[in-house]
Structure 1
């Protein structure tokens, strides 16, 4: 089915970007759809993913970002460089503490946006399941009718192991002043703005 939970939130993420941003880092970029959206907004984008296969596909699709196969846990990131750092559905593939490396890569006044996945059930999940089914069938039917459906290349996935309360507690500890908002479709949005003086 072509409906993608992460793509569904691209507009929300774009609305939370700093208005003055020029440089961006997209972590776990996959085939680069959000990195290209950042580039279309005028950002110079470094887009990293550990999968050689998806980076090859991202480079084939092009669109402006500098795509590079790299594991952000081990990669040397330039300190205080990026006005925006984004991480879509990939933080659960690495230790949660990696957010401190992403924070340190932010320029003063920069914004970190994590669209994350959480484990377990919350009160909202009974609403998400039927909404998910309707969205998937609707998008699939529309693309079939238009003749535009092509199964996308998917990056490797793994289930998350942190529940939402754990995510909130760790975010508060590691990124004081951050905000974690629960979203539909088993996602959360972590927003952190680095103080202008740091």
Structure 2
């Protein structure tokens, strides 16, 4: 698909700036969990010297590796790959947690993060009706405006729908596993979690 102005857009990319703003000053290493074809990993590489992307999807990684850069791409499940604990200054994850047990995924991300490092998650959760109906209608309207002005890019990675965890359940899980984390629900069917790992 031809992309207007050379820029891709979808609901995940829309919130990439929130992830990138969370990268701490002086970060030397980043892990992008569920990196797919590398869109966020390449954005991270502009501000972090050493970036690793990991994903079990070989097709997506093949597309990522077509770019001429020094990002390390690993074809594996990050939950079992033998990364050293506490070895990354930044761990990011976009639209990945709903592919697995969310508690297991968050715990593993937390363990891979170095003290003082930042975990930045963008995810999908399930709306609940009828309470979420006004928010859903607002999201549909906002999505229509964005699509009228931008060319929607469909990522090549596998999808899971519906998400197994609701927004309130995800908020509670973040509070339990990442004390002091900032959880935010976003309009375009996403939530974010930002958390800095204590140094002691």
- TM-score when scaled to structure 1? 0.89
Checking the alignment, whether the CA contact within 8 Å between 1:73 and 1:94 is kept in structure 2 is no
Q: Given the alignment, which residue of 69, 74, 87 partners 2:93?
A: 87
Would you say the 8 A contact 2:10–2:154 is kept in 1?
no
Which whole-Å CA distance do the structure 2 matches of 1:172 and 1:68 have between them?
30
**Distance apart, 1:66 and its partner CA:** 0.5
Task: Give structure 1 stretches of 5+ with no counterpart.
Answer: 141-148
Task: Give the superposition deviation at 1:96.
Answer: 0.7
The residue aligned with 1:77 is 83
Question: Which of 142, 145, 150 in structure 2 is aligned with 1:134?
Answer: 145
- Residue 95 of structure 1: how far off its partner (Å): 0.9
Q: What is the CA distance between 1:76 and its match in structure 2?
A: 2.1
Determine the structure 1 residue equivalent to 2:26. Answer: 20
Determine the structure 1 residue equivalent to 2:157: 155
How far 1:83 moved relative to its partner? 0.6
Which of these residues, 174, 184, 191, is aligned with residue 194 of structure 2?
191
Displacement of 1:152 after TM fit?
Answer: 5.4
Q: How does 1:34-183 map to 2 (within 5 A)?
A: 34-97=40-103, 98-121=105-128, 122=132, 123-140=134-151, 153-159=155-161, 160-183=163-186
The one-character-per-residue Cα deviations of 1:158-194 (angstroms, maximum 9, x if unpaired) are 0211111000111111222212101111101111110
Residues 1:30 and 2:36 are matched in the alignment:
yes
Task: List runs of 5+ in structure 2 lacking aligned partners.
Answer: 2-7
Distance in 1, matches of 2:188 and 2:34, equals 19
- Size of the aligned set, in residue pairs, is 188
Q: Which runs of 4+ in 1 moved over 6 A?
A: none
Taking structure 2 as the reference length, the TM-score comes to 0.88
Shift of 1:63: 2.9
Confirm or deny: 8 A CA contact 1:36 1:64 kept in the other structure. no
Alignment RMSD (CA, Å): 1.7
Q: Is the Cα contact below 8 Å between 1:51 and 1:69 reproduced in 2?
A: yes
1:128–1:186: 8 Å Cα contact kept in structure 2? Answer: yes
Cross-structure match for 1:146: none
